[in-house]
Structure formats: structure tokens, C-alpha cells
Structure 1
Amino acid sequence: MHGRVESTTRVTPTIVRVVLGGEGLAGFALPPATDAYVNLALPPAGAPYGPVFEPAQVRESHAKEWWPARRRYTVRVWDAERGLLTIDFVVHGDEGVAGPWAAHARPGDVLVLEGPAGGYLPDPEADWHLMVGDESALPAIAASLSAVPAGVPVVVRLVCDDAAHELPLETPGDLDLLWLHRAGAPDPGGLILSSLRALDVPPGRVHAFVHGEADEIREVRRHLIAERGIDRSAMSCSPYWRRTMTDEAWRRVKSDFVAAMDSDVA
């Protein structure tokens, strides 16, 4: 499956929104999840194939140096009627693979992808919702907010660099939104944890979405389970990235990190 770039927009200093369309998206359909994601396949410069290709076939017929890099990105919006797929990319200059691709993408460029899949949907029976993360979790949180039932409390805590990196968020729920700014903070990595420790939580059963930087999310998870008494089954929790590692290095150790994180609170 593939899409062709229809447009690109820099919606914050570090987020580029790419809209894909075209016949290559025929048959695309979202699962019943608001954290739906696609697996992108980004070929190296000078790749002897493409731009439309089958990732599995490339791995079978080409040397490893020509294999496409694989990156997982959340679907920001799928417009089934118009056949348009929107993905937000966090861009930090030339760092990484997907970010630089998005920063330089132009109408007509091809992006090969597989999926979608997903596993989280705000529980309509929950008494309130908690959604925390950083820029990497923002697309899923934005999509999930639209699925919160009208009037139901939803607490959102999001980390970004400063006010210029904030995006408008809407929900039918009763929104308690706080943006936490790294700029000038004495402990940028502890912003979410500190904000949650100070939170006067709504009454009743919560359904939580906790995604972002690995070490931050690990501490938040430990707090919510051990100190707040939230059941693990009521939480979608995943470390999307790790500050001290490249994407490739993180992918190699992520499963071990998640296993250790899961064992933190017995």
C-alpha cells in the first residue's frame, strides 16, 4: 500500500503534517482504535527499486544495506470519503529518517506503508479519562479526545518545548488540559510526573493513555499503579522513544525495556 503526498504543512516549529492520497490507499480502513498506526517503509537514498515497492520483496531480493527503514506512526486523521490520510511527523532537523523525509516531502512524493493497526479506544463506560504524553503521543491523544463521551471528564497533560509548540485540542468531554513546557524547567524530564502528583483526580473509574519518552513514561506508570492504585488493565502504556538513543538503537532494546517496566510494580 502507498500514498502520494497531497500537501505538507508545518503546524508547529517541530511538527510537519503530511496529507496522503491516491489510488494506492484503496482498501485502507481504520480499526476500532483511536491510536491507529501505520508502519512506514522509507528506502535509503539511491535505492535500486521503487518508489512503489513491497517491503517484504525488497528484503528478499536486495542486500540489507538497501532495505527500507521501518517507522511506526499514528494516524492523525483518515478521511474515508475523500481517501486522504493525515500523519503528523515530529521533525528535529536532519535527525532520524522519517522526520527529514516529511520536512522535504513535496506533492507527488510516494510513501509506502503497511497497516493500519491499533489497540486503544477510550472506554465509554469509564467515569473519567487520563491522557498524558509528549509530541510523539499528540496525534493519538488528539484523535482519542474526539471519542470521549460528552461531558465526561478528561484530564490531559502534554509536554512540549514552549507555547509555540502547542496545538488546539477539542473533545465532547469536559477537558482539563495543561501544557507543560520544557523551556526553563529545572527538571524537564519530570514535568508529567510532577503534574500528576499534584493532580486532584476526578472520582470513579479511570481509563488512561500513557505514551511518550521511555524513562518518563516508566516513572509515570509506576506512580499511577503504585501510588494512585490504577489497575494495569485500565491503562494503555507504551514508551514510544528514548531520549538517549537513536530510533534504531531503541528498537533493538525496547522489548527488554518494556519487560523491565512491566515488572516494576508487581
Structure 2
Amino acid sequence: MTIQRSVRPVRPQVVLEVLASERLSRHMMRLTFGGSGFVNFQDKAVSDRYVKILFAKPELGLVPPYDLDALREQLAPEDFPVRRTYTLRHVDLDAQTVQIDFVIHGDQGLAGPWAQNAKIGDQICFASPGGLYTPNPEFDRHLLIGDETALPAISAAVEDMTSEMVGDIYLEVSGPEDEVRLDVPVGITVHWLHRGGYFTPENTKLEEAVRNAEWHEGTLQVFAHGERETMKSLRAYLNGERGVDRRAMSLSAYWAYGRAEDEFQAEKKSPIGQIFPEPLNA
């Protein structure tokens, strides 16, 4: 007997060009992308739409879209294109454009410096978005938590909120110059937290602010993303101490303090990289 195995369809790579750039704050840059490659873009109707951008070393002269299977055979591991995950801040299907907000910290990282130096016509390559979270009006309250890396996703989520929604948003940034305008429903309160510099385990205020906040009765939907150890602590508080249903939580790490991006990604399936100590269906 032949067993038929389901195969996930391969989503085509989307190759777009930089159309415009805009400095949103001291540490945030927005790029608008478009072009003929938008025909391969397959939208997903959620707030937290994210894509995995492929970055190839410029000196290799690789032209997207990339034949990844062939490149695995041709290139040394250190020369293989690397992936970086970013939220789609806005999608305009009529104009056939997408916008991505990049956190900029000087020469740190890969995507940030690329975005800061991007010129009109530069290309970007990614597969169509994934994601699951959208604010659900069936919940009594909403709690959104994050640092700079979660700001684009939270900003997109705010735009999908209904006017009747109530809750709180906690956003931690370096200082007042990193705040951005959020047009929230009247029942949503935004709390800006200022570290006074780059993130360290000593100066972060996010967990403390959430723990010290007034707790409300009723069902709660949570969106919390940011630094790994902070997310672990928030998971322990919200799910472990307060009993928030894990199925009502979109909670994960976008990065880890003291870890390079590749090291952080490699640790995701190890105990140190897991936010929840057990699988959802355990």
C-alpha cells in the first residue's frame, strides 16, 4: 500500500524593490517596497503578518530569487543566504506595496544597517507572510506587550482593533525620541516605558510594569513579543500565575540578549530557547 504524505506547497519567493524610505524615530526606519514581483505575493488576513527576508552577501553577486537547493550544494555554509524575520507593517493590495519597519542601532546586526543604507531600486527577497494573531473582539480585554522589535506588529494590531475594545499596551523603548503615534481606541491605554539606553537585563522595565499593573477580571487576549528572557518571565506571570489560557496568548521571543541572530535561531528548539516549558497539546 502506498502512503500518501501531505506536502506543504512551496510559496514562491517575492522579489521587490525599495520605493521609498522614511525615518520614523531615532531608532526606526520604514521602507516601502513594490514592483513587478508583487504578483507572487500571497497576503494573509492577520494583524501580525511576518516574512523571512533572505540576505545574501553582496560580494557573491547572487541575484534573487534564490535557488536555495542549488546554493546549498555550491556555497560554504557561512556564505549561504541568511534569514531575518520582520513584520509587515502595512500591505496595500491596490498599490501593490508593502511597508516594513526596521529597528536601527548603528552598525549592529544585519537587516538594520542594510535598511539604513538602502537606496531606491535595491531589492529584497522573501516568501509570502505567515502569522496567526489578530485582536479578537470576543475577549473582554486585550494586553499587548513589547519592546522596539514588537512595535511594528503592535502598531499593525492597533489598526485592526474595533472601537469597543479595552485594555492596555506596554511598550519599552530607549527614550521619548523612540515613541511613535498610535491611534488606539478610547478604551485602550498606552504605557510608554523608557530604559534610558539600549536594552540590558538591568535596565528593562517591561516585566515590572506588567506585574505592577491592576489586574482585571474577564477573558484576556495577550500579544507579547520581545527579548527572550523577558518573554519567559512574562509567560510565567501571565500563564503560570494569572492563569491566562495559553490558547489566548501570542507570546514568543524576537531576539535574545547576548546572542547573535543565528545563535538565537539555533537555540529555539533547545530548552534555553523555549518560552513555554511544554508543547501546547501536552
Q: TM-score, normalised by structure 1?
A: 0.92
Coordinate RMSD, CA, aligned:
2.2
| Partner Cα distance (1:78, 1:160) in 2 | 25
Query: How much identity, in percent, do the aligned residues show?
Result: 33
Matched residue type, 1:223: Y
Matched residue type, 1:143: A
Q: Match for residue 188 of structure 1?
A: 203
| Partner Cα distance (2:92, 2:138) in 1 | 27
Q: Does 1:222 align with 2:275?
A: no
Matched residue type, 1:214: R
C-alpha distance 169-107 of structure 1, shift in aligned 2 (>3 A): same
Out of 235-244 and 223-232, give the one that drifted further.
Answer: 223-232
Matched residue type, 2:248: A
Equivalent residue pairs, number: 265
Please give the residue correspondences for 1:66-85 in structure 2 after superposition, counting only pairs within 5 Å. 66-85=79-98
C-alpha distance 56-40 of structure 1, shift in aligned 2 (>3 A): farther
| Matched-pair contact (CA < 8 Å) for 1:153–1:202 | no
Q: Does 1:209 align with 2:223?
A: yes
Q: Match for residue 118 of structure 1?
A: 131
Q: Does 1:247 align with 2:243?
A: no
Matched residue type, 1:69: V
C-alpha distance 104-30 of structure 1, shift in aligned 2 (>3 A): same
Q: Match for residue 40 of structure 1?
A: 53
Q: Which structure 2 residue ranges, 5 or more long, are not aligned?
A: 1-13
Shift of 1:264: 7.9
Q: Which structure 1 residue ranges, 5 or more long, are not aligned?
A: none
| Matched-pair contact (CA < 8 Å) for 2:18–2:34 | yes
| Partner Cα distance (2:273, 2:147) in 1 | 22
Q: Partner of 1:70: helix, strand, or coil? A: strand
Matched residue type, 1:43: A
C-alpha distance 37-194 of structure 1, shift in aligned 2 (>3 A): same
Q: Match for residue 263 of structure 1?
A: 277
Q: Does 1:20 align with 2:33?
A: yes
| Partner Cα distance (2:83, 2:201) in 1 | 35
Shift of 1:224: 0.8
Q: Partner of 1:255: helix, strand, or coil? A: coil
List per-residue Cα deviations over 1:231-253 (Å, max 9, x = no partner): 11111110110011110111111
Q: Match for residue 171 of structure 1?
A: 184
C-alpha distance 201-30 of structure 1, shift in aligned 2 (>3 A): farther
Please give the residue correspondences for 1:54-65 in structure 2 after superposition, counting only pairs within 5 Å. 54-65=67-78
| Partner Cα distance (2:113, 2:190) in 1 | 30
